[in-house]
Amino acid sequence: MSISSIAGKAQTVLGTVDGKDLGVTLPHEHVLMDGSALYVEPVESSKKGIASKPVALNLLSWLRYHPFENKDNLQLFDEEVQTAEVLLFKAAGGRTIVDQGNNGLGRDWNALARISRLTGLNIIMGSGYYTANSLKPAVFSKSVDEMADEIVADITVGIGSTGIKSGLIGEIGTSWPLHEFEKKSLLAAVKAQKATGAPINVHPGRHPEGPITAARILADAGADMSRVAFSHIDGRIRNHEGRLELAKYGSYIEYDLFGYEGHFPDFPGAPPIDLPNDTTRIDELKALIDAGYLKQLFISHDIVCKSKLVHYGGWGYSHISNYVVPMMLKHGVSQDTIDTIMVENPSRFYSFV
């Protein structure tokens, strides 16, 4: 496939579509996912018992504050449930979901294609590698060129003999401190971007310096930083100055934890981070808009566990459309501005160049 032939188009699991036809887009979600790499073993003996129980009503209160300490909670395996969940987004006016799954997150290209056909939603699929702890050590010996070639093949040829292609390089996983393999993974993403014109999404290490550290590596390697998005900024950089520093690279700032508030779970080596509520997220987005960065903003939910699904009492994929957008309007954010964030920005970013 000639990459130039899809310039201006976005690539979904069912083929290319005009970027302008993506409509309301969730730029960072997981439709199906194996989140084993996120699991954190509880310390207390009684909690270890909870860790192995299936998600049920009587666990939901505990899971609100310990979402990554239960194995079943991190398994989005039920295709029927996930199809029903994404249909709620469609019913709320949604058109496109970006599934950020890749190597290390249980990427399931065949199921994504089936769900896209059944629902009529555009689904864009990721490529590349997640964090080092999600991978078997055997892959650590891969060279930058080998990983770049794999990503290019995902985008231009498809996965195996299926013809199902990725439309995104990401979410490229990084940890804190950065693993040597993860640095190679970032460099491979740059090479693949140069070869294909695809956008890059980065999962920053769980530290306030995680996003800017990855940004420097990408910029030094010659990445088109206007084609890079940094995820989980509402769970990483908790001051306006730090967000401005990152935005000055020209990259997209992704607030993708809408619906999730309170303290961020403890991860080994990560400093404590208090998550904002949705109102605070809106205020922080307004500050970035006032600073001139409207066209570099994304919002999403990053559904990574069962307790975030409506089926299990969570907020689900339609939360932003049903609840956050009305809240933004009440807070003085215009519909045109909302459309820029939810329609125009994703259309531009996910269209190949």
Residues ≥6 apart with Cβ < 8 Å to 204: 174, 210, 211, 213, 214, 230, 231, 232, 236
Here the tokens at position 337 are 């501005």
Residue 4 has pLDDT above 80, yes or no: no
Domains of the chain in start order, with CATH, are: 9-350 (3.20.20.140)
Instruction: Quote the pLDDT of residue 270.
Output: 78
Q: What amino acid occupies position 90?
A: K
Extract long-range pairs of 283-290: CB within 8 Å, 24+ residues apart: 283/331, 284/234, 284/240, 284/243, 284/255, 285/255, 285/333, 285/341, 286/331, 286/332, 286/333, 287/240, 288/240, 288/243, 288/244, 288/247, 288/253, 289/333, 289/337
Instruction: Quote the pLDDT of residue 338.
Output: 98
Residue 218 has pLDDT above 60, yes or no: yes
Instruction: Quote the pLDDT of residue 2.
Output: 52
Return the minimum-mean-pLDDT range out of 27-31, 104-108, 261-265: 261-265
Residue 298 has pLDDT above 60, yes or no: yes
Instruction: Quote the pLDDT of residue 199.
Output: 98
155-202 pLDDT per residue, tens: 999 999 999 999 999 999 999 999 999 999 999 999 999 999 999 999
Residue 5 has pLDDT above 90, yes or no: no
**Confidence class of residue 272 from pLDDT cuts 50, 70 and 90?**
confident
The residues facing 12 across adjacent strands are: 15
Residue 269 has pLDDT above 90, yes or no: no
Average pLDDT over residues 328-343: 98
Mean per-residue pLDDT over the chain, rounded: 96
* Euclidean distance between CA atoms 68 and 71, whole angstroms: 7
Average pLDDT over residues 215-232: 98
Average pLDDT over residues 84-111: 98
Q: Which residue has the higher pLDDT, 282 or 45?
A: 282
Residue 35, helix vs strand vs coil: coil
Instruction: Quote the pLDDT of residue 271.
Output: 84
Residue 129 has pLDDT above 60, yes or no: yes
Instruction: Quote the pLDDT of residue 1.
Output: 46
